[in-house]
Chain A
Amino acid sequence: MVDVPPRANGTFSVVSRDWTWPDSQGVGCPEDLDPNVGVLSGSVLLDFTSNWGFIVQIDAAGSGNVTRAVQASKTQLLFDGFISWATTASSLIGVTPAAAQHGFCSDGCLQFGVETWPAGEYCTLWVFLACWRMALAELCVVVLSHTNSLCLCTLAAGLTLLPFKAAMTNVAHLDESSNMFYFQASHPVGNTAWACSSNAADQCLVAIDATKGSIVSSQGPSGYTVRCAS
């Protein structure tokens, strides 16, 4: 970790180096591939999607040392870390690759989910009081995490699957006042109602209701108005 004052002509100081991961989870040299990066209260989080979402937390505002290394636990069959994500005080929220046995996601798609932090429990939905009003057909498991934040993991297939095959890396925005999560996705599959453009490669600005995991809107390049600020 290197500290660089922004107005000092490129002078720098090495804050820390030669990190030793604090446990043995870092198998397979995940550090050989770029992690996805998040910031949480003065810490930097490195999400190694090359190693099933293994996350290293670094004390960026202090010592610069590794303070945690967490391998996500999950009830889902597949979770290999977030492509794009946002952070709150006790959770990481984002989209991850997914696959299902049947339906539009049988050849892969994205999934919206939440990982409690630092407990590392990955779920596909936030918990809310609506939990107890859910249909009995949906098998629910309620988990009380180490941080006392409730998380509901539903096994209802497809509930939070998103009909896109690709997402822009490391670009997400969480509006906590409205619980809306925004990210960019492309290559729509299945329900093309959320395809924002006839060009599959176009990046759609997708809004997700973070309390439900459902898509609210998908805006594409054709929806942009380019005008210069006065």
Chain B
Amino acid sequence: MYSFGATNADGSVHAFVFGFESECQHPYNNFAFATIDLKSGKATLVACVAKDVVIDTDPTVGAFSPDGTLFATGSGNSETGVVQLVVLDPTTGEAVLNSSLPGLKKSLGVSNVAPFINVWGVSWTE
């Protein structure tokens, strides 16, 4: 599990997880959304992250929106130097946004030869 979301009426919680390889069959990394029964540890798959979405690094940097309808995760890939911000629909695993935030280095006054911009954290504002 990489992120916990809202609690359901039955006490289970939404979560962004890694696993479900046989169900998701993603070509690179099997991230998914699931509900977790905290008392038993049982996980129920809700949706696999879509096969056309590759999450570069640092899946622990992420957060569900307050209403639970979106999940955002971000990273900075130290190998490629590319920033990544992905917003997913937790019910389908499809990407609402998958961006390298082009122009961010220039906006922040960071040199192009600087290795990369790393996303430290993601939070939602109303």
Which A residues lie within 8 Å of B100 (CB)?
10
A27 within 8 A of B: no
Q: Do A229 and B45 touch across chains, with their CB atoms under 8 A apart?
A: yes
A191 within 8 A of B: no
The smallest C-beta distance from B80 to any residue of chain A, in angstroms, reads: 17
Query: Contacting A61 at CB < 8 Å: which of B20, B118, B126?
Result: B126
Query: Contacting A10 at CB < 8 Å: which of B20, B101, B118?
Result: B101
Which A residues lie within 8 Å of B41 (CB)?
205, 219-220, 223-224
Q: Do B85 and A171 touch across chains, with their CB atoms under 8 A apart?
A: no
Which B residues lie within 8 Å of A154 (CB)?
none
Query: Contacting A7 at CB < 8 Å: which of B43, B97, B108, B125?
Result: B97
Q: Do B1 and A168 touch across chains, with their CB atoms under 8 A apart?
A: yes
Return the CB mask of B47-85 against A: 1 if under 8 Å, else 0.
Answer: 000000000000011010100001010000000000001
The smallest C-beta distance from A131 to any residue of chain B, in angstroms, reads: 28
The smallest C-beta distance from A86 to any residue of chain B, in angstroms, reads: 9
Q: Do A17 and B108 touch across chains, with their CB atoms under 8 A apart?
A: yes
Closest to A184 in B: B1
Q: How far is the CA of A82 from the CA of B3 in the complex (A)?
A: 16
Which A residues lie within 8 Å of B36 (CB)?
205
Return the CB mask of B110-126 against A: 1 if under 8 Å, else 0.
Answer: 00000000101111011
Q: Do B39 and A223 touch across chains, with their CB atoms under 8 A apart?
A: no
Q: Do B107 and A223 touch across chains, with their CB atoms under 8 A apart?
A: no
The smallest C-beta distance from B83 to any residue of chain A, in angstroms, reads: 10
Q: Do A225 and B85 touch across chains, with their CB atoms under 8 A apart?
A: no
Q: How far is the CA of A61 from the CA of B19 in the complex (A)?
A: 34
Which A residues lie within 8 Å of B102 (CB)?
10
Q: How far is the CA of A226 from the CA of B61 in the complex (A)?
A: 25
Q: Do A170 and B61 touch across chains, with their CB atoms under 8 A apart?
A: yes
Q: How far is the CA of A14 from the CA of B117 in the complex (A)?
A: 14
- Of A32-40, A90-98, A111-119, the segment with at least 4 beta carbons within 8 Å of chain B is A32-40
Which B residues lie within 8 Å of A227 (CB)?
44-45
Interface-centre pick from A60, A171, A227, A228 (highest chain B CB count, 10 A): A171
Q: How far is the CA of A180 from the CA of B70 in the complex (A)?
A: 25
Q: Do B121 and A173 touch across chains, with their CB atoms under 8 A apart?
A: no
The smallest C-beta distance from B49 to any residue of chain A, in angstroms, reads: 15
Q: Do B38 and A6 touch across chains, with their CB atoms under 8 A apart?
A: no
Closest to B87 in A: A6
Q: How far is the CA of A9 from the CA of B102 in the complex (A)?
A: 11
Q: How far is the CA of A52 from the CA of B102 in the complex (A)?
A: 35
Query: Contacting A14 at CB < 8 Å: which of B97, B108, B121?
Result: B108
Which B residues lie within 8 Å of A169 (CB)?
60
Query: Contacting B20 at CB < 8 Å: which of A2, A42, A46, A226?
Result: A226
Tell me the residues in window 1-37 of chain A with beta carbons closer than 8 Å to chain B beta carbons: 2-4, 6-10, 12, 14, 17, 34-35, 37
The smallest C-beta distance from B117 to any residue of chain A, in angstroms, reads: 9
Closest to A14 in B: B107
Residues of A whose CB lies within 8 Å of any CB of B are 2-4, 6-10, 12, 14, 17, 34-35, 37, 39, 42, 44, 46, 60-61, 168-173, 175, 180, 182, 184, 203, 205, 207, 217, 219-220, 223-229
**8 tightest A-B contacts by CB?**
A219-B41, A10-B99, A37-B121, A173-B4, A223-B41, A6-B87, A225-B42, A170-B60
